[in-house]
Structure 1
Amino acid sequence: MTGTPSPPPLPAALNPGRYGIALVCLGNICRSPMADVVLTARVDDAGLAGVVRVVSAGTGHWHVGEPMDPRAAATLAAADLDPTTHRAQQVRLGLFEEFDLVLAMDAANLRDLQQLARDAGLAVDPARLHLFRDHDPLGRGDVPDPYYGGSDGFEEVLAMIERTSVAIVAALQRELPFR
């Protein structure tokens, strides 16, 4: 039998009654902030805003303090989502200790996160660090970086993020004792 493997179970909350999800890409101006805005909106829609915290960061430092890429922001705004509060930030070591789940947008950023943890001597539970699309009901792999392409790439990324965010929220509701 072929098909998409089941997503990994969500790791238990580090702090009962609270759950943190960090989303990571390279510069924190396209994929991870788009995922942050969408996942935060889906968490809010599910009534979990007071329980689930979502943030995004980049492995690189180039865009720290900058707003989202204008094409990413326009794609979100066209979907009635607010991209205006985002400011790029770089991953901090505390991310591994503060967040229950760290989701990289692609394999290269996942490797960078794993290396960052190793270099700092941190033993990060692999169940807490994996790819965002491990939760995508239509397939695994990278969220492609739309930065060097046109607006259609941002729309494709938004579609991946939307369906994956819905699946993550469903898993939060199903697997974790929030209510």
Structure 2
Amino acid sequence: MKHYHILFVCLGNICRSPMAECVLRHLASEAGVGQRIIVESAGTSGWHDGENMHAGTRKILTKHGISHLGFTSSKVKSSDIEHFDFIIAMDDSNLNDLERLFGKHPDKLFKLTDLIPESGYSSVPDPWYTGDFAETFRLVEAGSSALLKKLELV
């Protein structure tokens, strides 16, 4: 039985990527495949290393009954390319940073919105700037569901 190691990446690792980490873990657990997925998140900047996720992220996760306990922000490491089956960026800038670090690996490195082309979004908007955590949650949830389908886990 295949197991997957997934890393979600955004700029600061306090809004979008921790939201995706928690949402995918929750959806996988609800689908009865939680033991087959290890999910983590990281930021390209390291600006918030050691911090908790943004209060807006915690609030929207709590609203949807999704646990966010035990999270600590961290920066992407050069060894991550070896440890993760998929490294999923939230926007073009994140993807470009990852490709500079790891090289191009289109089957392994891609944007979350690539999984949901019908959304009309080319990236997941950063609620740090938009303030719209609900919009980010909708896209993260849709992308996470699409990922579970891509991995043939649901």
State if a TM-score over 0.5 links the two structures.
yes
State whether residues 106 and 141 of structure 1, in contact with CA within 8 Å, keep that contact through their aligned partners in structure 2: yes
Q: Specify the alignment match of 1:113 in structure 2.
A: 98
Deviation, 1:125, is 2.7
Determine if the alignment matches structure 1 residue 155 to structure 2 residue 134: yes
What number of residue pairs does the alignment pair up?
153
Separation in structure 1 between the aligned mates of residue 4 and residue 87 of structure 2, nearest angstrom: 11
Separation in structure 1 between the aligned mates of residue 120 and residue 152 of structure 2, nearest angstrom: 21
Percentage identity across aligned positions? 37
Q: Specify the alignment match of 2:12 in structure 1.
A: 27
SS of the equivalent of 2:40 reads: strand
Alignment equivalent of 1:138, drawn from 112, 119, 122: 119
Cα distance per residue 1:5-29 (max 9 Å; x no partner)? xxxxxxxxxxx72211110000000
**Larger helix percent:** 2
- Tell me the amino acid that sits aligned with residue 147 of structure 2: I
SS of the equivalent of 2:25 reads: helix
Cα distance per residue 1:27-46 (max 9 Å; x no partner)? 00000000000011111112
State whether residues 33 and 153 of structure 2, in contact with CA within 8 Å, keep that contact through their aligned partners in structure 1: no
Q: Specify the alignment match of 1:93 in structure 2.
A: 78
Separation in structure 2 between the aligned mates of residue 139 and residue 17 of structure 1, nearest angstrom: 31
Cα distance per residue 1:63-83 (max 9 Å; x no partner)? 011000011111111111112
Separation in structure 2 between the aligned mates of residue 149 and residue 130 of structure 1, nearest angstrom: 23
Determine if the alignment matches structure 1 residue 41 to structure 2 residue 26: yes
Alignment equivalent of 1:56, drawn from 25, 41, 44: 41
Separation in structure 1 between the aligned mates of residue 24 and residue 153 of structure 2, nearest angstrom: 16
SS of the equivalent of 2:148 reads: helix
Separation in structure 2 between the aligned mates of residue 140 and residue 134 of structure 1, nearest angstrom: 9
Alignment equivalent of 1:70, drawn from 55, 59, 62: 55
Return 5+ residue gaps in structure 2 as ranges: none
SS of the equivalent of 1:126 reads: coil
- TM-score, L = length of structure 1: 0.80
Alignment equivalent of 2:109, drawn from 117, 122, 129: 129
Return 5+ residue gaps in structure 1 as ranges: 1-15, 119-123
SS of the equivalent of 1:130 reads: strand
Separation in structure 1 between the aligned mates of residue 119 and residue 93 of structure 2, nearest angstrom: 21
Separation in structure 2 between the aligned mates of residue 52 and residue 157 of structure 1, nearest angstrom: 22
